[in-house]
Amino acid sequence: MTKPSSEIIFLGHCPDRVGLDARITGFFADELFNILDLSQHSERGRFFIRIEGSEEGSPQSIQTWTEKFFPIARELDMAYSFHDPLERLRVVMFCSKTLPCPLEVLSRWLSGEMRIDLRAVVSNHLAIEPIIRKLDLPFYHTPTTGDASLFEPMQIRIIEQHSPDLIVLARYMKILSPHFLGEVRTPIINIHHSFLPSFIGNDPYEQAYRRGVKLIGATAHFVTCDLDEGPIIHQDVVRIGHQFSVPDMKQVGADIEKQVLASALRKFTERKIIQWEGRTVVFH
């Protein structure tokens, strides 16, 4: 059995009302819990809170914390969770032949900068296979030609085998079917380019070039059945000028995509995201 950590992260949200801070922090004070960081937010009658701290007494398990807080959660009608900040979340990464994003994830995993346990890489292209093999990671080539029913069952079995806490689509160039999303209950984070204005379909950079776009951006979001419309986690933009060619724009796009994806993954692993009613509250 894993020894309980003395460090704890608490996330919660409930209907807003007077006295919530006092009620919640009073519970932690009674439990001899030293609050090191507290962030909160209220909107549309909803209260969101994240607390990070350490126990002064003997460490208690996540399950014990969850059970002890339950009476207060029931009183406040609060959705809540406790987490160990030292836990490494199990991750399965999907990618295609575009490599900047998956290589960024690999780099931050290898350096220990990102607290994840990368379990496997799934790809519909062989471009990344030599790198994954050298890292002694399980690699699964799942060609995505034809109907999704021909390849998604294999992908679902891979996910079930590795039991990830998170699936990362690191520029995986295939739309996940409603069946896939219905079978896989694991959170999924995706990254895609975002232009102002937005261009869909083939050759978005060529379209952007023809329109004289001056901003290139990227968006990381949770995946839902609505294509590229899931709750947004992180976004960023870079200004460009008329002198940028299409290859220049693609290079800028690749750079910002990998940075935005890495930031979104870090927020997820640090338990700084709460989803509610189709949007996210992201603590800093």
Residues in the chain: 284
pLDDT of residue 163: 97
User: Where does the chain hold its CATH 3.40.50.170 domain(s)?
Assistant: 89-282
Cis peptide before 197 (omega within 30 of 0): yes
**CATH code at 7-83:** 3.30.70.260
Active-site residue, selected from the candidate residues 16, 165, 228, 248 = 228
User: Where does the chain hold its CATH 3.30.70.260 domain(s)?
Assistant: 7-83
Q: What's the CATH superfamily of 89-282?
A: Formyl transferase, N-terminal domain (3.40.50.170)
Give the other-Cβ count within 10 Å of 187's Cβ.
17
Low-confidence residues of the chain: pLDDT under 70:
1-5
Q: Which two tokens stand for residue 186?
A: 């694991």
pLDDT of residue 2: 53
Q: Judging by DSSP bridges, how do beta strands 89-95 and 166-169 pair with one another? A: parallel
pLDDT tens track for 4-20? 668 999 999 999 999 99
pLDDT of residue 196: 72
pLDDT of residue 202: 76
Q: Which amino acid is at 65?
A: W
Helix (H), strand (E), coil (C) string for the chain: CCCCCCEEEEEEEEECCCCHHHHHHHHHHHCCEEEEEEEEEEECCEEEEEEEEEECCCCCCHHHHHHHHHHHHHHHCCEEEEECCCCCEEEEEEECCCCHHHHHHHHHHHHCCCCEEEEEEEECCCCCHHHHHHCCCCEEECCCCCCHHHCHHHHHHHHHHHCCCEEEECCCCCCCCHHHHHHCCCCEEEEEEEECCCCCCCCHHHHHHHHCCCEEEEEEEECCCCCCCCCEEEEEEEECCCCCCHHHHHHHHHHHHHHHHHHHHHHHHCCCEEEECCEEEECC
165 flagged as catalytic: no
Q: Judging by DSSP bridges, how do beta strands 215-222 and 188-195 pair with one another? A: antiparallel
pLDDT tens track for 194-214? 887 788 777 889 999 999 999
pLDDT of residue 178: 93
